[in-house]
């Protein structure tokens, strides 16, 4: 390391005091090393992030390479365990084993997992049947083909994975998004027993729509995407939708897994190996109890606009040019479908299949037992150009650039980097969940962070990031270093702040890093089950310009290379920017002498949660004689401990202290998210152990156990439910106190 | 460090290759340091255990000091939260804050815990009452006083803590040890409904005797210690028992907590602070459902020898000079008690009380964030000279010697040492359990080991040690260094091997380190809940000379300084030997550059468990189509990984490598026991998360979940129960594989 590098260190600091300390340290050794008889490992041990190397990395990330990757990855449909999936396994392996641009090592790891498929020889059918059993209308079995991509025989029929096979027939009702409130509203004025409900995607999870419906005796459900929710109202494939734009064609259908728990459903908490104990299928509780089928909005239009009954509430009205009635149940007497039933014939079957993760590593030089994990799933529903291949294309470009440096002997990270190309994510984050179950202890002990880039580019307007608060700092540092596609001077950070920002009590106006509270992609097992500081990074659209709840071709046969390159990210500069950003985050985590996590940012998040809960709950809890003081004190202790640790870091002269001290502080930072784990806090939620970021039903942005327990108690008024509020208060206060303890003086 | 020290290092190695490597390392630096410009922390960072310091420590441990400690600690009864307990809090604090022999810091930590006491103003009564309600016989309320100790008004009446208050009256039956089989035997020939059972201590846990009884409709139970089980048959306090010997006098009564779960019963998994959520008393499931009272064998004799009914089975007969009949139910028609009932009037009450742990620390110099924990409880039932004050007297002597060295600036450990004087152990290991709940994360991340010395001396014949297999090696090293009281040349190790040994496939004949499978003392929360490598060390008797199931004055008013100094350890040389041994273990753990844990010893234990389970279960499981191959493969992987790691250690030239490598290997060793934790494996057993050492009902010495599930399935034959066997096989195989992963190459 030369003095110009040293200057760059000082220029590009991640946080003032830290960099100062590190700079002093480097200076100390940079000066000493020519003269000394010090052990030869000293220079290596104190090696810090090399800013010029990061600049090189950023410049070498190539949009054309990403485009080529994507073209290769999307040649054929590659649903989990299909021949197309196997082709991507081979492709990723080939890339990671390449002698010039590969990693140190790469291999596949298989799990035998429980998947659900439609029957190719006996496709699912949805029909309108009159009392004489004549079929008046048949829902399309396949999406309209505009290009050869849609004609590939491997395009799987749209279906609801894990919907049971079975036949359901009944009068149709329209149930909005299928929430409990939606069904309750219908149930007020009609008997839902034996009806078929048509519901829209959105608001509640896929499976929840069916689980809720079954509680009212509904016999089957149809799910579609309303043009108002995805297409800004556009409906015509002649002029408006794909192939004319990014909008969803009328016959496009969102496929999806209809389960709630993530991971292999038959082997909770156990890696799904050949001889692993499996629960019986009957013990699965979170999949649809009734036949369920997704359909396109062209077909939904044909059904909904014929419905009889009262006009649905205004909020339930969608994008069709007709009034959405709730159903008689059934169709208008003036309709060609009068007196007819809707019939579902579902032939889905479930099967144990071998699904592969592909793993690759670059071994760390100084701390090989510290892991930076970077991953994305490989399986798609159809061609999956955006979901997930945009992320895989980005990952392969990052590994190409880094692999080349490693193979040429120009660089080796301080810590180990592990890349994961996960299998069967679309069926419930299965590959990543099984991986965390199998390597639970090793990952718990050694993982510094997990970076997830699934859909790399929803659109090419701005960065979007969700993360543990500990990681906000390194994301900011990276986004300040990387420039947006359209400009040589505007940073990703500045551009991002224009689209999504918030006012931070400590930092002022900053880009809004979202909380990782859900289980929308493979970060779930890392963040929620293992408590590894995780982040999910992508490029996305300007939300002022569209109301689409996600990119419109999501999970359809239109999510193709053509679609991606024409309408999502022409020129692949969005992909390039994500690769540069996520790669820079990765490098800073892998190479920084001191981990670039900030516990004071965590303190701020806890304070925001606390403020919200005090505002919402305190008075009522005082009336119930439940004190919130332990929670208030815990958050206060955490803030004090965080300030103390950051003070220690600022005041440290690492050059004159043992590497054990560096490791100690890094362990404090690395293990911070682990401190919030409680495996008994949410017994009914598979894998959710993080008491701050676990999934939450309540809309109140605060501690999830507390928020959900309060909502329940407030609605029932039962003493047992108030006891649960008290219990969750104690659980979260103890976790925060425990976390504060880990940041305090180590003895 | 000079060259004579170096020679000692080479002489007193803990394991050949390791010491060689360390020796090379020390040599390297010992030679270099005069010449170099190396950073000044290098010498400190590579500091290893100082053998001459250990010799000094051993020589300074003084029997007279231990005797003085014990005299002070046993002046008055010190049941948890009593004034006597507070006096011991103050005494321990005074010692640990002493400016010349104290620790770096000491403080008290309080928990508000749920305890159970008899009512001083309304003592529990056990009487024989005839049909006219005349009292024919009354069980003694207090033990016979031989000395002032027994006359102290603070001597608590014998009682069964957590027995409910209440009145029970019925015909007496004799139910042996109160196991399910015992009650079933009686139930074959009589109606137990409404009877009172008298049972012996032993075989099953205290509370279990009452929980079992209630299942048969028994209304109350009396518990006593049979002279055959504790006194080698001796009964006379005129000539045979204390004060003439160590044997239990006829009126001596074993007090005890009648619960199963450890820790505060109202706050499972939560530290019992003022505002912590508490379950209701009704939700406690493991305490006696019926009135329960322990009595002395003099009173038991008066009752049992009058019983009518069939002669009890031969195995049920005890030490009384009469035939033990099972009861009519009730007494013989020829007895003065004919037709009479036994009546229990129990006035126990429960209360939240503040119980204190006293904590003390010596800060580590190089790795302050690594903790060696050493602890014992402070509370007794009465004077508790042996249980627990013998252990506390030993702990205070260890802290005196080490504290003096620290205060004089002569020594500071490499790692931090934390001492714990736990409160309310007798009520269910409460102080230590609450401590682990409060500091769960910090301890999980940083604790290297926990050393428990509760009853330091059961008798002065030989060492006894129970431990995680990882710790066998350091216990052996220490016991080879320390000599037995009677000899300057015979090591504790050689003496121990004469009394308790086993044949090890790798080591040949070695002393038998017992498994830490139970929850008999404060190691439970550390070993089972946190997965911290733990050990329990004491001196004990020659089991060929007595059948006493424990030292006879256990939990009685006779466990006094007089008893301890006359009959357990005259001259306190047994105490001194335990202090030297446990102290040496502590020092080696605190000061060794590389932790003295041996993962190959763990492999051997797993192999023994595996062999046992294959022998017992394999054929039957194959018939059920449950493969044991994953377990076999897991144990094989573990052995290979352990060999690999020990190879790495042997081949390492630490002098030329970074301290990060030392820390990495130490982390692998420190966290090994953690790898076996599974918080969901035993949902009904509070705090038992270690899938190798959890408590086990089955007598088969193998993996506890597997053994118990197999026993259940084998007895019921139900498919659901065989599924549980399969599940536990998967759980334990996954844990062992996960552990093997942590020992393998770190990336």
Which candidate, B657, B669, B652, B664, places its Cα nearest to that of B23?
B652
In this complex, is the C-beta atom of B7 within 8 Å of any C-beta atom belonging to chain A? Answer: no
Chain B, 608 to 637: residues with Cβ < 8 Å from chain A are 627, 629-630
pLDDT single digits (tens) B308-341: 999 999 999 999 999 999 999 999 999 999 999 9
- Measured in whole angstroms, how far is the alpha carbon of residue B562 from the centre of its chain? 24
Closest to B441 (Cβ–Cβ): which among A657, A675, A730? Answer: A675
Cβ(A360)–Cβ(A417) under 8 Å? no
Q: How far is CA A343 from CA A111, A340, A462, B314, in A?
A: 36, 9, 44, 74
Pairing of strands B196-200, B125-129: unpaired
CA distances for B657 relative to A100, A543, B667, angstroms: 29, 53, 16
pLDDT of residue A443: 98
The confidence score (pLDDT) of residue A487 equals 87
A11 close to B (CB below 8 A) = no
Residue A534 near residue A450, CB atoms below 8 Å: yes
Model confidence pLDDT, tens digit, residues B372-420: 999 999 999 999 999 999 999 999 999 999 999 999 999 999 999 999 9
Average pLDDT over residues A677-693: 97
Question: CB–CB of B173/B195 below 8 Å?
Answer: yes
Do A118 and A159 contact (CB within 8 A), yes or no? yes
Residue A37 has a pLDDT of 62
Residue B658 is nearest to which of A45, A664, A731, comparing CB atoms?
A45
* Residues 6+ away with beta carbon under 8 Å from A51: A5, A8, A9, A11, A12
Chain B window 728-747: which residues touch A at a Cβ cutoff of 8 Å? 729-731, 734, 737-739, 741-742, 746-747
d(CA B88, nearest CA chain A) in Å: 25
**pLDDT tens-place string over residues A112-122:** 999 999 999 99
Q: Which chain A residues are closer than 8 Å to B736 by Cβ?
A: none
Among B40, B442, B659, the residue with its CB nearest the CB of A738 is B442
Task: State residue A354's pLDDT score.
Answer: 98
- Per residue in A5-29, pLDDT (tens digit) is 444 433 444 444 444 444 444 444 4
Band (pLDDT 50/70/90 cuts) for residue B44 is: confident
Residue B63 has pLDDT above 50, yes or no: yes
Partner A contacted by B41 (CB < 8 A): yes
Please give the Cα distance from B85 to B425 (Å, whole number): 12
Mutation to test the B interface, candidates A622, A658, A685, A740, most B Cβ within 10 Å: A658
Angstrom distance (rounded) from CA A277 to CA A275: 6
Specify the DSSP class assigned to residue A204: B
Q: How far is B441 from chain A (nearest CA, A)?
A: 6
- Of B441, B734, B739, which is closest to A739 when you measure between CB atoms? B441
Q: Which long-range contacts (CB under 8 A, 24 or more apart) does B146-152 make?
A: B146/B237, B146/B242, B146/B243, B146/B249, B146/B558, B147/B243, B147/B560, B147/B562, B149/B383, B149/B557, B149/B560, B149/B561, B149/B562, B150/B557, B150/B558, B152/B76, B152/B77, B152/B383
What would the mean pLDDT of B215-224 be, rounded to a whole number?
98
Given B143, B425, B426, B711, the catalytic residue: B425
State the smallest CA–CA distance between residue A346 and chain B in angstroms. 31
Q: Which residues of B touch A273 (CB under 8 A)?
A: 630
Peptide bond into A348 cis (omega under 30): no
The rounded distance, in Å, linking the Cα atoms of B192 and B195 is: 5
Residue B504, strand partner residues: B508
Q: Summarize the confidence of residues B569-579 as an average pLDDT.
A: 98
Cα–Cα distance, A518 to B517 (Å, whole number): 39
Angle at B350 between CA B345 and CA B353, to 5 degrees: 145
Q: What are the beta bridge partners of residue A4?
A: none
| Cβ separation B41–A276 shorter than 8 A | no
User: Which residue is associated with the tokens 């008689």?
Assistant: A328
Token pair belonging to B408? 């004089």
Q: What is the mean pLDDT of residues A131-151?
A: 97
B interface mutation test: which of A277, A364, A531, A724 has the most B CBs within 10 A? A277
Contacts of B285 (CB under 8 A, 6+ apart): none
Tell me the C-alpha distance between B326 and B176, whole Å.
Answer: 9
**Catalytic residue selected from A51, A367, A425, A434:** A425
A10 CB near a chain B CB, below 8 Å? no
Identify all chain B residues contacting A723, using CB atoms and an 8 Å cutoff.
277
Residues from chain A contacting residue B668 (CB–CB below 8 Å): 369
Higher pLDDT among residues A601 and A16, named by residue: A601
pLDDT digits (tens, 9 = 90+) for A449-472: 999 999 999 998 999 999 999 999
Interface of A with B in 653-692 (CB under 8 A): 655-660, 663-664, 667-668, 671, 674-675, 678-680
Q: Does A566 touch chain B (CB under 8 A)?
A: no
| Residues 6+ positions from B96 with CB-CB distance below 8 Å | B102, B103, B106, B358, B360, B399, B403, B419
Longest pairwise C-alpha distance within chain A:
98
Average pLDDT value over all residues in chain A: 94
Size of interface A-B (CB pairs under 8 A): 176
Q: How far is CA B481 from the centre of its chain?
A: 24
Nearest to B152 by CA among B560, B507, B500: B560
Tell me the three state secondary structure of residue B220. Answer: strand
Q: For A36-40, A228-232, B178-182, B398-402, which range has the lowest pLDDT when averaged over its residues? A: A36-40
- Lowest mean pLDDT, pick from A655-669, A693-707, B373-387: A655-669
Determine the Cα–Cα distance for residues A663 and B368; give it in Å rounded to an integer.
Answer: 12
Q: Say which of B40, B367, B439 has its CB closest to residue A656.
A: B40
Cβ distance B369 to A664 less than 8 Å, yes or no, reads yes
CB-count burial class (<10 Å; 0-12, 13-18, 19+) for B549: middle
What are the φ/ψ torsions at residue A362 (nearest 5 degrees)? -115, 120
Mean pLDDT computed over B526-538: 98
ipTM of the complex: 0.93
Walk me through the domains of chain A, giving residue ranges and CATH numbers: 3-45 (no CATH), 51-114+352-591 (3.40.630.10), 119-347 (3.50.30.30), 599-743 (1.20.930.40)
- Least confident among A42-51, A641-650, B137-146, B231-240: A42-51
Q: Distance from B738 to chain A by nearest Cα, in Å?
A: 6
CA–CA gap between residue B503 and residue A427 (Å, rounded):
52
- Structural contact between residues A346 and A258, judged by C-beta atoms closer than 8 angstroms: no
Contact A416 B627 (CB under 8 A): no
Put simply, whether B445 touches A (Cβ < 8 Å) is: yes
List all residues of chain A from 300 to 339 with a beta carbon under 8 Å from chain B: none
Separation in Å, CA of B689 to nearest CA in chain A: 11
Contacts of B658 in chain A (CB under 8 A): 41-42, 44-45, 366, 659
Residue A445, min C-alpha distance to chain B (Å): 8
CA–CA distance, B237 with B216 (Å, rounded to integer) = 37
Sort out which chain A residues have CB atoms less than 8 A from B663's CB and list them: 659-660, 663
| Each residue's pLDDT tens digit, A532-565 | 999 999 999 998 999 999 999 999 999 999 999 9
- Token pair of A515 as six digits: 């909380």
CB contact (8 A) between residue A627 and residue B275: yes
Structure tokens at B158: 């014998």
- With a CB cutoff of 8 Å and minimum separation 6, the contacts of A335 are A306, A308
Q: How far apart are CA A628 and CA A615, in angstroms?
A: 11
Residues in chain A: 747
Grade residue B657 by pLDDT with cuts at 50, 70 and 90: confident
The reply to whether B97 touches chain A by the CB within 8 Å rule is no
- Residues from chain B that touch A667, judged by Cβ atoms under 8 A, are 369, 445
Residue B161 and residue B82: Cα distance in Å, rounded? 15
- Rounded to whole angstroms, the Cα distance separating A31 from A26 reads 8
Confidence (pLDDT) at B37: 62
Q: Do the beta carbons of residue B446 and residue B529 sit within 8 Å?
A: no
Give the pLDDT confidence of B493-502 residue by residue, as tens digits: 999 999 999 9
CA-based nearest residue in chain A for residue B42: A658
Query: Nearest CB to B37: which of A38, A416, A660?
Result: A38
Decide if A361 and B747 are in contact by the 8 Å CB cutoff.
yes
pLDDT value of residue B486: 83
- Among chain A residues, the shortest Cα distance to B46 is held by A658
* B397 a catalytic residue: no
pLDDT at residue B29, as a whole number: 42
Cα distance between residue B11 and residue A371, in whole Å:
39
Tell me whether residue A4 is exposed, middle or buried, using C-beta atoms within 10 angstroms of its C-beta: 0 to 12, 13 to 18, 19 or more: exposed
Task: Check CB contact of B283 with chain A, cutoff 8 Å.
Answer: no
What is the residue-averaged pLDDT of chain B?
A: 94
Look at residue B13 and tell me whether its pLDDT is greater than 50: no
Q: A90 in contact with B at a CB cutoff of 8 Å? A: no
- Chain-chain contact of B445 with A742 (C-beta, under 8 angstroms): yes
What's the confidence (pLDDT) of residue A10?
Answer: 39
- Look at the alpha carbons of B280, B281, B282, B283 in this order and tell me if their dihedral is positive or negative: positive
Decide: residue A2, CB within 10 A, 0-12 exposed, 13-18 middle, 19+ buried.
exposed
Q: Tell me chain A's radius of gyration from C-alpha atoms.
A: 27
Which positions in chain A touch B737 (Cβ < 8 Å)?
A: 438
What average pLDDT score do residues A319-335 get?
A: 97
CB contact under 8 A, A40 and B729: no
Q: Smallest CA–CA separation between B70 and chain A, in Å?
A: 29
Yes or no: say if B422 and B522 are a contact pair by the CB < 8 Å rule. yes
Separation in Å, CA A151 to CA A568, A693, B685: 22, 42, 57
Q: How far is A552 from chain B (nearest CA, A)?
A: 41
Which candidate, B50, B10, B45, B12, places its Cα nearest to that of B29?
B45
- Interchain proximity B738–A367, CB inside 8 Å: no
CA distance A87 to chain B (A): 27
């Amino acid at each position: 390391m030369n003095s110009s590098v040293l200057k760059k260190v000082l220029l590009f600091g991640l946080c003032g005091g830290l960099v100062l300390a590190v700079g002093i340290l480097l200076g100390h050794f940079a000066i000493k090393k020519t003269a000394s008889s010090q052990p030869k490992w000293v220079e290596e041990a104190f090696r810090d992030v090399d800013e010029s190397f990061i600049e090189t990395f950023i410049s070498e990330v190539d949009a054309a390479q990403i485009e080529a990757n994507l073209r290769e990855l999307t040649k054929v449909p590659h649903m989990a365990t299909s021949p197309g999936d196997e082709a991507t396994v081979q492709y990723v392996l080939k890339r990671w084993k390449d002698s010039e641009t590969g990693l140190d090592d790469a291999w596949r790891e298989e799990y035998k997992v429980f998947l659900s498929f439609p029957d190719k020889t006996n496709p699912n059918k949805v029909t309108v049947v009159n009392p004489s059993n004549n079929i008046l209308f048949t829902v399309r079995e396949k999406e309209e083909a505009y290009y050869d991509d849609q004609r590939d025989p491997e395009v799987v029929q749209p279906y609801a994975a894990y919907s049971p096979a079975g036949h359901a027939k009944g009068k149709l009702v329209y149930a909005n998004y299928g929430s409990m409130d939606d069904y309750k509203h219908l149930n007020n004025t009609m008997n839902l027993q034996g009806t078929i409900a048509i519901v829209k995607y959105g608001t509640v999870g896929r499976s929840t729509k069916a689980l809720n419906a079954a509680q009212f005796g509904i016999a089957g459900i149809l799910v579609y995407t309303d043009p108002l929710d995805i297409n800004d109202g556009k409906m015509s494939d002649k002029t408006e939708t794909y192939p004319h734009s990014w909008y969803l064609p009328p016959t496009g259908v969102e496929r999806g897994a209809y389960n709630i728990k993530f991971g292999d459903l038959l082997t909770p908490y156990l890696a799904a190996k050949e001889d692993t104990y499996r629960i019986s299928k009957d013990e699965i509780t979170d999949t649809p109890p009734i036949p369920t089928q997704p359909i396109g909005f062209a077909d939904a239009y044909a059904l909904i606009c014929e419905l009889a009954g009262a006009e649905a509430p205004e909020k339930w009205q969608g994008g069709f040019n007709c009034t959405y009635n709730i159903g008689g149940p059934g169709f208008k007497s003036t309709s060609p479908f009068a007196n007819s039933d809707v019939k579902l014939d579902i032939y889905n079957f479930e099967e144990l299949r071998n699904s592969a993760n592909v793993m690759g590593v670059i071994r760390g030089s100084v701390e090989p037992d510290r892991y930076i994990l970077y991953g994305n799933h490989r399986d798609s529903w159809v061609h999956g150009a955006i979901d997930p291949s945009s992320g895989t294309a980005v990952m392969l470009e990052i590994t190409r650039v880094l692999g080349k440096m490693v193979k040429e002997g120009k660089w080796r990270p301080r810590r180990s980097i592990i890349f994961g190309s996960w299998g069967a994510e679309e069926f419930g984050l299965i590959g990543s969940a099984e991986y965390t179950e199998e390597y639970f202890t090793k990952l718990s002990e050694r993982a510094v962070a997990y970076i997830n880039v699934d859909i790399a580019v929803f659109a090419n307007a701005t960065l979007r990031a969700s993360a543990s608060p500990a990681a906000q700092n390194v994301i900011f540092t990276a986004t300040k270093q990387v420039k947006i596609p359209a400009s040589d001077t505007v940073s990703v950070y500045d551009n991002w702040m224009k689209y999504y920002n918030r006012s931070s009590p400590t930092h002022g106006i900053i880009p809004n890093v979202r909380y990782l509270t859900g289980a929308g992609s493979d970060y779930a097992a890392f963040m929620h089950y293992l408590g590894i500081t995780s982040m999910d990074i992508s490029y996305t659209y300007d939300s002022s310009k569209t109301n689409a709840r996600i990119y419109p071709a999501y999970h359809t046969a239109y999510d193709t290379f053509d679609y991606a390159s024409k309408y999502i990210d022409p020129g692949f500069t969005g992909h390039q920017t994500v690769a540069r950003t996520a790669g820079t985050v990765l490098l800073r985590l892998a190479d920084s002498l001191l981990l670039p996590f900030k516990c004071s940012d965590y303190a701020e998040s806890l304070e925001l949660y606390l403020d919200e809960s005090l505002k919402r709950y305190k008075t009522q809890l005082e009336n119930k004689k439940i004190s919130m003081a332990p929670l208030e004190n815990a958050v206060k202790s955490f803030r004090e401990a965080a300030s103390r640790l950051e003070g220690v870091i600022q005041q440290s002269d690492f050059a004159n202290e043992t590497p054990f001290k560096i490791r100690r502080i890094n362990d404090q930072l690395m293990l911070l998210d682990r401190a919030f784990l409680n495996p008994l806090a949410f017994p009914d939620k598979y894998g959710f152990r993080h008491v701050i970021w676990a999934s939450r039903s309540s809309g109140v942005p605060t501690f999830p156990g507390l928020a959900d327990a309060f909502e329940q108690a407030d609605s029932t008024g039962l003493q047992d439910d108030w006891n649960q509020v008290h219990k969750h208060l104690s659980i979260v206060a103890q976790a925060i106190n425990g976390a504060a303890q880990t940041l305090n003086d180590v003895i």
